[in-house]
Chain A
Amino acid sequence: MLRRMRKSTVYFIAGGLIIFVVIQLLLSLGILNNYWRGIIFWGAAISMVALGLNLIYGFNGQFSLGQYGFYAIGAYASADITYRWVHSDPSGIVVVLFGSLLTLGLYVAVTAFLRRFYGVTVMARFTFYILATILAFAIAVAGLVPLLGPAVNSILQVLPAAISRQIVFFVALLGGACLAGIASFLFGIPVLELGSDYFGIATLGFTIIVKVLLDNTDTILPFPEMKGARGMIGIPQWTTWPWVFASLLLVILVMRNVLHSSVGRAIVSVREDERAAELVGIDAATTKVLAFVLGSVFAGLAGGIRAHDLAFLHPQSFNFIQSFNPLIIVVFGGLSSMTGTIITGFFWIFLLEGLLRLYLPEGFETWRLVVYPLVLLVMMLLRPEGLFGRYEIPFLRRVLPPLPTKTVEIQEEAV
C-alpha cells in the first residue's frame, strides 16, 4: 500500500506522526509545563483561524477582518454546550446540534426553492435564508429540547463517563463550527456582494458587533451562564493534544483537498478575475460564499479548541484589535501559502505570547506592542510577499503550477 502513495504523502504522514508523538511525549513526561502546553494549543488554534483566512483572502481574494468574530462564536457556542452538559443540562447539545442539522436541511430546501426562480435579489435570498434559520432554531428550542433532551441525556448517561465526555466534546466542537458556519453564511450572502474593501470594513464591523453581543450575553442575550463582560468561567478543560492535532490535521487536509479539486480552481479563479471566472461558467457568488463559510468553520472549530483549553472566555480577547492577528499572520507567512501560515501562526504565539511575555522585564511589557508594529513595517518594506512567499511543502503543493497573484497587486493603469 505504501508503494502506491506518492512520496510527498508518505513524508507528510511520517512528519505528522513524529510531531504528534514527540509533543505527546514531552507533555506526558511533564517537560513542557502547562504554560507551554497552552502556547502550543493556542498556536494551533490561531493557525486554524489563519488557514481559514488564507482560504478566504489568500486564495479567494476576499479581504476579511471578521475571522475573530467567528472564532468567538465557535468558542462561546462550544463552551456553552459543555458547560451546560457539565451542569447536567443537555439542551445545549440538542439545540446546537439538531438546530444546525435542521438549518442545513432547510437551507437545502430553500436553495432548491430559489433555484426555480430567476432574478432573485440578494436581499430576497438573504431574507429567505434568515427566516429558515430562525425557524429551525425556534423549532429546536421549543420543540426538540423537551422531546429529545431526556433521550440524549439517558443515552449519554448509559455510556461510561470518559466516552460520553469525548462524545460531548466532539459534539461541542462540531456545534461551534456549525454555528460559525451558519453565521458566516448568513453574513456572507449580502456582504460578499459589496466588494473587497467594503467587505473588509463590514467584516470588521461584524467582529465589533459580536464583541458587543458577547459583552451583553447576560443582559441582551438569554445566556446568563456566559456572564457578559465579566467573562465566562467554569468551562471544562477538555482539550488534549490528540484533539488539537486531529483538528489541525482535519483543517489542513480539508483545505488541501478543496484547493486541489475543481472547486479550488474556481476559488482561485475568482480571486484572479471575478468577471472572467463568471464568463467561463463559474458561479462567483456561490464560490465566494463557499470559501467564506469554509474559512469561518475552521475559525469556529479553533474557537472550540481554544475555549476548552483556556477554560475561561472573556469578550475582551475577541475585540477587533485581536482580529487583525490572523490577517497579519497570513500576510507574514505569505498569501496563499498554507505552510507559511501554519508555521507563522505557531511562531506568532510562541514569540509574542510565549517568549516576549516571559522574558521581557516588568516595565517593558507595553513595549511589546510598540516593537511589533515596527517589525511589521520593516517586513512590509523589505519582503511584502511574506516570509514564505508561495512556498508549500510538497504534500500541499498544487498539481498545477501556481497562478501569479494579480488581484493583490496595485497596478496603475497603463497609458
Chain B
Amino acid sequence: MWLRLIWAVRLWKSGREIMALLEVKDLYVSYGAIRALHGVSFHVDRGEVVTLIGANGAGKSTTLRTISGLQPADSGSIVYDGVDITRTPASNIVPLGIIQVPEGRRIFAPLTVRENLEMGAFTRKDKREIAESMEHVFQLFPRLKERVEQTGGTLSGGEQQMLAVARALMAKPKLLLMDEPSMGLAPILVEEIFDIIQEINREGVTVLLVEQNAHMALSIANRGYVLETGTIELEGEAQVLADNPRVREAYLGGG
C-alpha cells in the first residue's frame, strides 16, 4: 500500500519533470473534404515560449483551434499535462488551464471591459481569487483599469488587443495560446504586446505563439516550428531557426 503510494508519487514527480506540458502527436485535421493538417507533431515544455510560424493557410490557426477543442481532429493525439484532451469539448479545456487569445482580438464589443474580463474567468468559481486576478491584470495593463466601465467596442485597436490578452489571463492559464497577436497593430504597439508576452512568460505561463511576423516571434521565443501546408517543415531553437537560410528567405524578408 505505502509502497504503491510512494511509487505513484515518484512516477508523478518524474513524469512532471520529463513530460512536456503539451504534446501534439501526428495530428490530422480536415474541414469537410479539405485536409488542413497532415500529421503535425510538436511539443511545448513547461515555462517555454514556443512559436509556430508559417505562411497564410499553413495550418497554424487550425492547430490552435484543434487544441482549444473547436475543431475535431481526424486522428492523432493532444496530450496536455499527461491527460489526453484530443476529444475534450472546448468548455472543458479552459478549466484545465489552456486558453486562447483569438486572432483579430475578437473581444466582446457590447460588453464592458470588466464584463469581458469576467468572461475570461467564466470557468472559475472563487470570487475572491477572480478579484485578485483582476487586480493583477490591471497591474499589467493599467490602461484597462481606466476604461473598466466602457464597452469593449469603444477601445482602440491596441487596447482591444490588451483586453484580449487580459481576458485570457483571467482564466489563470498554465498554457496561453496566442494567435497572431501582432495582426493589424502599429509597430510600437506590437513591441508593447511582445514585451507583455515575455512578462507573462516570466510569471510562469507557458506560451504557444502563432505568428506571421516571424522576426518578432523568433526574437522572444525559446524554440520554434515552421509549418508549411499542414506539416512541420523545420524545428529548432529560435536563434537557430532565425539564422536558417530557408527561414530567412521565406519568412524574414530575404537577406
B87 interface residue, CB < 8 Å from A? no
Q: Which A373-415 residues have a C-beta within 8 angstroms of B?
A: 414-415
Bound-state CA distance A414–B64 (Å) is 11
Q: Which residues of A contact B68 (CB under 8 A)?
A: 415
- Whole-angstrom distance between the Cβ of A73 and the nearest chain B Cβ: 42
Stretch of B17-25, B100-108, B146-154 with 4 or more beta carbons under 8 angstroms from chain A: B100-108
Q: Which residues of B contact A414 (CB under 8 A)?
A: 61, 65
Bound-state CA distance A415–B70 (Å) is 9
Bound-state CA distance A415–B100 (Å) is 10
Bound-state CA distance A414–B102 (Å) is 10
B45 interface residue, CB < 8 Å from A? no
Q: Which B53-103 residues have a C-beta within 8 angstroms of A?
A: 61, 64-65, 68, 70, 100, 102-103
Bound-state CA distance A414–B63 (Å) is 12
B211 interface residue, CB < 8 Å from A? no
- Whole-angstrom distance between the Cβ of A375 and the nearest chain B Cβ: 28
Chain A 335-378 interface 0/1 with B at a Cβ cutoff of 8 Å (1 = within) = 00000000000000000000000000000000000000000000
Q: Which residues of A contact B70 (CB under 8 A)?
A: 415
Q: Which residues of B contact A415 (CB under 8 A)?
A: 61, 64-65, 68, 70, 100, 102-103, 106, 179
What is the interface size of chain A, counting residues whose CB is below 8 A from a CB of the partner? Answer: 2
- Whole-angstrom distance between the Cβ of A405 and the nearest chain B Cβ: 14
Bound-state CA distance A379–B61 (Å) is 35
Which chain A residue has the least Cβ–Cβ distance from B68? Answer: A415
Which chain A residue has the least Cβ–Cβ distance from B100? Answer: A415
- Whole-angstrom distance between the Cβ of A412 and the nearest chain B Cβ: 9
Which chain B residue has the least Cβ–Cβ distance from A412? Answer: B70
Q: Which B204-250 residues have a C-beta within 8 angstroms of A?
A: none
Bound-state CA distance A415–B105 (Å) is 10
Chain B 95-127 interface 0/1 with A at a Cβ cutoff of 8 Å (1 = within) = 000001011001000000000000000000000
Bound-state CA distance A415–B177 (Å) is 12
Bound-state CA distance A91–B27 (Å) is 77
Bound-state CA distance A415–B183 (Å) is 14
Bound-state CA distance A220–B64 (Å) is 64
Bound-state CA distance A155–B34 (Å) is 69
Bound-state CA distance A414–B103 (Å) is 9
Which chain B residue has the least Cβ–Cβ distance from A413? Answer: B106
- Whole-angstrom distance between the Cβ of A394 and the nearest chain B Cβ: 27
Q: Which B173-222 residues have a C-beta within 8 angstroms of A?
A: 179
Q: Which residues of A contact B103 (CB under 8 A)?
A: 415
- Whole-angstrom distance between the Cβ of B211 and the nearest chain A Cβ: 16
Bound-state CA distance A415–B65 (Å) is 7
Q: Which residues of A contact B106 (CB under 8 A)?
A: 415
Q: Which residues of A contact B179 (CB under 8 A)?
A: 415
Bound-state CA distance A405–B70 (Å) is 24
Bound-state CA distance A397–B106 (Å) is 43
Bound-state CA distance A307–B103 (Å) is 59
Which chain A residue has the least Cβ–Cβ distance from B106? Answer: A415
- Whole-angstrom distance between the Cβ of B220 and the nearest chain A Cβ: 23
Q: Using a CB–CB distance below 8 Å, which chain A residues touch chain B?
A: 414-415
Query: Which 6 residue pairs are nearest across A and B when measured between Cβ atoms?
Result: A415-B102, A415-B65, A415-B70, A415-B103, A415-B61, A415-B106
12 A-B pairs with CB atoms under 8 Å apart are A414-B61, A414-B65, A415-B61, A415-B64, A415-B65, A415-B68, A415-B70, A415-B100, A415-B102, A415-B103, A415-B106, A415-B179
Known: A415-B100, A415-B102. 10 other contacts (CB 8 A): A414-B61, A414-B65, A415-B61, A415-B64, A415-B65, A415-B68, A415-B70, A415-B103, A415-B106, A415-B179
